[in-house]
Amino acid sequence: MLDSFKKIAIGSDHAGYKLKEYLKEYLQSQQYAITDFGTYSEESMDYPDAIHPLAAAVDRNEFEKGVIICGSGNGVAMVANKYKLVRAAVCWNDEIVRLTRRHNDANIIALPARFISSEQGLTFLQIFLNADFEGGRHLRRVEKISQIL
């Protein structure tokens, strides 16, 4: 049985479809159990239709981590961050990915498919999956993210 770390939720809109499929191949080759929340083609669709169910599953702790992709990364991140326990971060370079894991304990990476190559997306995914949250002073800050005032 795979632990929750080996279970990855992945989803995209039509602009992120090709990158999603590329990253799925890598994840499967690394023995991750993938749940694909869609979309399943490059046909135009509304990204909230794929991202709401994915983010809800992460919020329920069915997945420790998720990958979401659209043209800019922003739309999918906005949807995902509506969920209390989700911390989705738009990532476009190595250092942003490292910091969002180490300092912010992001549990979903949002990738901007129109602004990065497939190879960059793979590198960012690898960093995201392997970087650990540092805790310490960052824990107090992360705990405040989900507080509703």
Q: How confident is the model over 71-81, as pLDDT tens digits?
A: 999 999 999 99
pTM above 0.75, yes or no: yes
pLDDT at site 146: 86
- What is the mean pLDDT of the segment spanning 84-99? 97
* Pairwise pLDDT comparison (98 vs 140), residue with the higher score: 98
**Owning domain of residue 122:** 4-145
Residue 99's CATH number: 3.40.1400.10
Q: What is the pLDDT of residue 2?
A: 44
Q: What secondary structure does DSSP assign to 92-145, as a single string?
A: -SHHHHHHHHHTT--SEEEEETTTS-HHHHHHHHHHHHHPPP--THHHHHHHHH
State the pLDDT at residue 75. 98
Tens digits of per-residue pLDDT, 3-61? 556 899 999 999 999 999 999 999 999 999 999 999 999 999 999 999 999 999 999 99
Count of the separate structural domains present in the chain: 1
> Which residues are known to be catalytic?
70, 103
- Nearest in space to 5 (alpha carbons), one of 66, 83, 84: 66
Q: Give per-residue pLDDT as tens, 105-138.
A: 999 999 999 999 999 999 999 999 999 998 889 9
**Which pLDDT score, from 0 to 100, does residue 149 have?**
60
pLDDT given at position 122? 98
